[in-house]
Each structure stands twice: as structure tokens, then as C-alpha cells.
Chain A
């Protein structure tokens, strides 16, 4: 078995006291960075790059540190999603939908433990898959052209309809606002700026991290001010953390299914962890049906997105290592680090630099175990950070949000934009318009439009091109089913409506 000798090589590199220490430090920092709203895995890794260089770390050590931060942030993001209803980073957005209702019912500890274990399962399976099938799996990317990508994003978009179980019009409105925002900036297909009003700051488009921090974190501040803290999400109490074995066991298939779907979403370049957590959540919601109670605070609702986004984080490493194509924002930053270390990812990396690849895989496995320990038995350490009185926490969160967003591009403009999003988020929540679809609209809109226009360029405007491959047709069928099935089933079963997620949230 070649894989075992390769893994042995990897562990012989990764299991030195120094690299182990780096893994622990990286996991700890990563979890904190992930838990703090506004700081996500991509800024976490970017912030640590100069430190890596000034410490003079070699390639493997640098990779161990940075990937530990990456995985750590993916774990940490769920903490503030569950406790504050503010996603710690963008892939943790879906975890708010059930995580926060669980916390409100006094089950924050259960939510944290289940999501922590789900994160472990997702990341662990993804790392194993990365080790075993990465070179073959890279070929998936060759099967996805503009038509297939467009169908994939349409599938994601179609399932948005099933997201709000009560008021689909409002969810649709929110997602179209997101799509509209995605149009701002340089149009790749004509080379012209759109809707920028001549403002250079807008020509790269609106970063969805700015939108997410504004819509969730800043709007929370406004709510807090308005109600003097009475109705604010902040201040959920966390009792004794016990491990809900039975409930966790009931989510086993959810975790495994979500890991697979998340991993595949991660492998596809451009889709990334946010799409992974979104699709897994919607898939599990569909499987559970109305009886599943998704959105009201169920264990599967936190297990699915966390297994999904952590698996996607591992999956995103596949195209990065084997093709040099980053599957997400964070892997784009990691790719840059590799290049600076004179490692050129590409089809020959596994053969040329086995010590780097297998050292990386071994360190991911180690980081994962460290993270499980940190995030389940020791989760209270991180929770403490978020459990301070709101009067202290909210200003601190606001400050970190500002610093985090400023560090994105070093421009005040993003801060202004973030405040505008905060006001919009406040208004939306007052009007019961869900904010998650806005983010998904921004996220999906850019890719959807680009791929549609690429498809039209390649086919000379022939629409049938969109249905020209088996993969594309399969995705279209799934999209139609994803859109129609929820309405159809609901009409057929005539069950009493479950309460909308947002109703519980506010």
C-alpha cells in the first residue's frame, strides 16, 4: 500500500516537537480568528503570512502553521454563529439557522459539541479523501465547463426557494438584491465597469465579507442599541457542556452525507466552503422534510453545514495542490504562500515534492485531532471569549469587525460600505426579510453570470449549449427538482407550517 508509506513519510516530517507546537498554536489562533466575526480563514492566513516569513520557517513548517489556522478558523466560525447569531466567517453562515435557535433553548452546549464533532468528521474524511484520491479527483475540474458551472450555481440558487418555509417572496426578494449587488464592478466579459459611478473602490465588486459583517454583526449592534440589550441576540448563557451521545449518533448519516457533498463542492474550483455548507444544509432539510424541523434548532441543522464546510475546506485543497487553481479565497492565499516558498502547485507537485504534500496531509490530520480536543472538551475556553457582558463584547466585536474589514484592502471605503450594509441589515430584520439569501446572491451571482456569458460566448449564443453534457443535464434536473419539490410536497401534505427560522431569531 503506497499510501501508508507516503503517510509514514508525512508523519515523519510533521511529527517533530517543533511542528507539533506550530500545529497547536495554529489551531488555537485559528479557532479564535474563526470565532471572531469579521475575521475569517482568509484574513487569518493572510495575517499570519508575514509572521511565517519573519520567523524564517521552512516550507513544511510554514504550511503546517498556516493550514492549522485554516482548519482552526473553519472550526471556530461556528462558535459565534451558535452563541451570537453572527457567523464567525462566511461558511459558518448556515450554522446560525439552527445553531442559534438551539442556543436560545438553552442547548448551546449541545450545539457546540455536535457541530464540533461534525466539523471533525467532515475535515477528517476530507483529508483522507485528499490523501487517497486527489490526483484522480483533480480530473473532475476538467469535466466542468461554463455550462456545467452555470447549472451547478443554478441548482444552488433553485434550492434557495426552499430556504424560507414561510415567506418565499421575501427570500426571493433578498436573493435578487444579492444578485443585483453581485453585478457591481468590472465586467469580465466586456472589460467595462458597471454600476460603479466612476468610483475605483467599486470596480473590484463588493466583497461578500463586507456584506456579511455589515448585515450580521453591525446590524446586531443597532438592535442592541435600540432595545438596550433586551432583545439582542447577545448574552446566551452556556451551562455545563455535556456530550449528547444519542442525539449525536442520530446525525451520523447526516454527517457522512454532508462530508461527501461538501468535499465535492470544495473540489470544484470557485464553489468553495460557503456553497458546501449551503448545499448540505438544503440537502438535509430536503431529506428530513417538514417534519425535520430545520430552522427551529435541530441537531442535524448544525451537523450538516459544519460537516459540509469543513469537508469543503479539505476539498478546496485538491484543485489548489493538483492544478494550482484555488477552490476558495483562503486557498488562493495559501497558493500565494506556496509560490513564495518556491513550490509551484500543479499536476507534478505530488511527484516532485512528496515531502511537502504528505507533510501537509499528515499535519492536517494532526491539526484535526488537536482541533477536536480544543473544540469539544475545551470549548469553554473559546466560549469565555464570547460570554463577556454584551456591553463589553459588542464594542469589541465591532472594533474587530472594523479592523478585519480594513485589513482586506486597506481602504476606508469598505468600512463605509460595511456600515451601509449594517443599516440595510437592520431594516431587513425589522421587515422580516432574511439576510442569508442576500449573501448567497452576492456569492453565486458573480459566478453564475460569468459562466452563463462564457457559455454564450463559446456557443455563439446557442442556448442548447447549456444542456449539452450529461453532467449539465443531471444538474439541471436536480435544480428543477430542488425548486419544485418543496412546494409540491408542502401542498400535498398540508402540514401545519413550521415556524420560519427568522421569526425565532429576532
Chain B
């Protein structure tokens, strides 16, 4: 009986040890459960930082899921605002939600965005047997009858996946964007099954989500939303070359607490740049369908400000914010 009690104690001690952060190493908060982009960002960047000798101890990864990253954001602002050894995984979803005030009263200027070192290009795909052969076919079909095309994506209404086709349609001169049908399902793969199954006509998501399905020939990518065609996927045309000037990439990067010194901020910017330049990161990007996209330091902050302003405007039009 004593034995059992000790065992129970032991179990909980092990668990709490794993949950607690060590004072000696840097900590990366992934604002989501294990799996998915943010967790990947923390684990890969953390591992490479240690492997290339930028930090002395392995980076501790903490998963803090909640409110689509809002919980981690408000915790950092309220409780860890001056912690120089803290980094937090971020992506387009972070700025989209900040722009839409989805994190309560939180605003983007409460933290400092260090940089992005890779991006998952946005894509618009259809089932292999779809009649739509090009992005123009799809856009014209929506223009002719908005009810005839439904999009499926892995984010809730108003999320980044929803925004992508809306931006393309606007660029194609279609302004009645509230008429566009969109369903938000549980993740990109789910969105693809709905599209292959014929329940929706197109899927909007990230390149990494469709790689396997492209290879198996079940879906056809109509456009990738980048400046240039993506290395390794040269046969997928960009939206831009088809006449729709839209660039929407799901960047992978970090922010740090707003209250740290400029010196500490620069330290993280340099470290992140070192990761971006490493062969390990290039391999990790290739394995996961990420395209090169490096913006670090002050440049990144001003780019972020622009993206947020644009998202705010679009969100207002579709009515997810007043």
C-alpha cells in the first residue's frame, strides 16, 4: 500500500517535472497542443539552436494551448513580459487573430516579432476530376454564381485559410465576398477529404497539407500564393502569373516578450538568423514543404504591421469584426 502511494507520487512528480521549465535553459512556448505548425516551429528551431551551438542547453518546449494562441499571448504579456530567455512560436494565424481582436484586448505591439525563417505557401486546390483547370476558371465560376463553388479550409471562418480565396477573388474583381461559401473543418487534410469527396469544390490551405495528395494524384493545385514558383513544385503556377496579385504565405517565426531590452532582442534576431542559415534548417524546410522566407529583425516588424492592417480591412468587409 505504501508502495502504491509512492508510485502515485512518483508519477505525478515526473509529470510535473516535465511540465515545469528549467531556470537554466531558454524556453519556447508553442501556443498549441503537440503537433501542427507552432509545435513544429518550437521543436525544430529549439533543436537546431542547440545543435549549432547558439544556446548552451536544449531549449525547453512548453505547449500552452488555448484560444488559438491567445492564452499564450496574454500569459506572455501579463506574466513574462521581461523574460529575456523566452521565445514564442508564431505564424500568420497569430497576426490574423491579433488583427481581428480575437485575443481579447491584446494588440500586436505588446510583444516584439523577431522574425520569420520559412513559410508554408498558401495553395488553392481542386479534386483531380474537377472541371476547373486554372485559377481563372474557378474565379469566373464564382463570379457567375457564387453558390456554385464552396471552399473548405482548416481554419474557422475569418481565419487565414478563409482569407486566401477571398483575396484572390477580390484581386479578380469580385467584391461580394460575403456570398462566398466557406466551411471551416478540423485541419487541412479534413478539408481535402471533403473536396475529393465532392462535398466542396475547392480546398484552401497550405502547401505542406497537400504534398501527399498531390503525389498520389487525388488533387490538382490551381495556384500557389507566392511571388515565385516553389522549388520542388515548379509545375504549380503562382496566382500572380495567372493575373491575381495575391501573396499569402503562412510564415513560421517567433515573437518575444515586449519588455526585453534591445540587446536581448538583437540576440534572438541573430540566433534566429543563424538557424535560418544552417543546413539543418534547410533540410527541415525541405522535409516539411516549407519555402524559403527569411525576414528577421526590424524589417519583419514593419512587414507585420502592414499585414495586420490589411487583414483588419478584409475582416471588416466580411463582417468578422465591426
Contact = CB atoms under 8 A, between A and B. Distances in A.
Interface of A: 32, 36, 46-47, 49-50, 53, 141-146, 186-193, 198, 200-201, 203-204, 269-270, 323-326, 332-333, 335-337, 339-340, 342, 344-349, 384-385, 388-389, 392-393, 396, 399-400, 403-404, 406-411, 450, 454, 457-458, 460
A332 B211 contact: no
B298 interface: no
Interface in B1-20: 1, 4-5, 7-9, 11-12, 15-16, 18-19
Contact of B181 (A193, A406, A457): A457
A199 B35 CA distance: 25
Given A142-B193, A191-B100, 8 more contacts: A141-B197, A191-B156, A191-B158, A193-B102, A269-B190, A339-B40, A385-B4, A396-B8
B212 A346 contact: yes
A146 B65 CA distance: 27
Given A191-B157, A400-B11, A410 B193 contact: no
Given A200-B67, A458-B199, A410 B62 contact: yes
Q: Is the interface of A mostly helix, strand, loop or mixed?
A: helix
Contact of A403 (B15, B185, B288): B15
Nearest to A320: B189
A186 B182 CA distance: 16
Contacts of A145: 194, 197-199
Contact of A204 (B4, B63, B66, B192): B66
A349 B4 contact: no
Interface in B169-199: 181-187, 189-190, 192-194, 196-199
Given A50-B18, A409-B71, A325 B156 contact: no
Contacts of B43: 53, 340
B161 to A, nearest CB: 11
A186 to B, nearest CB: 6
Contact of B147 (A348, A406, A460): A460
Contacts of B1: 388-389, 392
A269 B199 contact: no
Interface in B39-97: 39-40, 43, 61-68, 70-71, 74
B103 interface: yes
A141 B5 contact: no
Contacts of A346: 189, 211-213, 215-216
A403 B156 contact: no
A161 B263 CA distance: 64
A396 B3 CA distance: 12
A352 to B, nearest CB: 8
B174 to A, nearest CB: 18
10 contacts: A142-B196, A188-B156, A269-B190, A323-B192, A325-B190, A340-B39, A345-B212, A388-B5, A409-B65, A411-B71
B211 to A, nearest CB: 6
B34 A204 contact: no
B199 A146 contact: yes
B46 to A, nearest CB: 11
A458 B181 contact: yes
A200 B68 CA distance: 9
Contacts of B216: 346-348
Given A323-B193, A454-B183, A458-B181, A36 B11 contact: yes
Contacts of B40: 339-340
Contact of B320 (A144, A191, A406): A191
A411 B67 CA distance: 12
Contacts of B66: 200-201, 203-204, 409, 411
Contacts of B231: none
A469 B95 CA distance: 40
Contacts of A192: 320
B25 interface: no
A336 B36 contact: yes
B200 interface: yes
Tell me which of B43, B183, B194, B200 has the highest count of chain A C-beta atoms within 10 A of its own C-beta: B183
Contacts of A186: 67-68, 156
Contacts of A189: 156-157, 183-184
B67 A203 contact: yes
Contacts of B266: none
Contact of A347 (B61, B186, B197, B218): B218
A400 B12 contact: yes
A189 B150 CA distance: 14
Contact of A348 (B7, B63, B212): B212
B243 interface: no
B35 A204 contact: no
A465 B225 CA distance: 33
B34 A336 contact: yes
Given A339-B35, A345-B212, A269 B193 contact: yes
Contacts of B158: 190-191
Given A201-B67, A203-B67, A188 B184 contact: yes
Nearest to A36: B11
Given A142-B193, A190-B157, A324 B212 contact: yes
Contacts of A332: 33, 35
Contacts of B33: 46, 332-333, 336
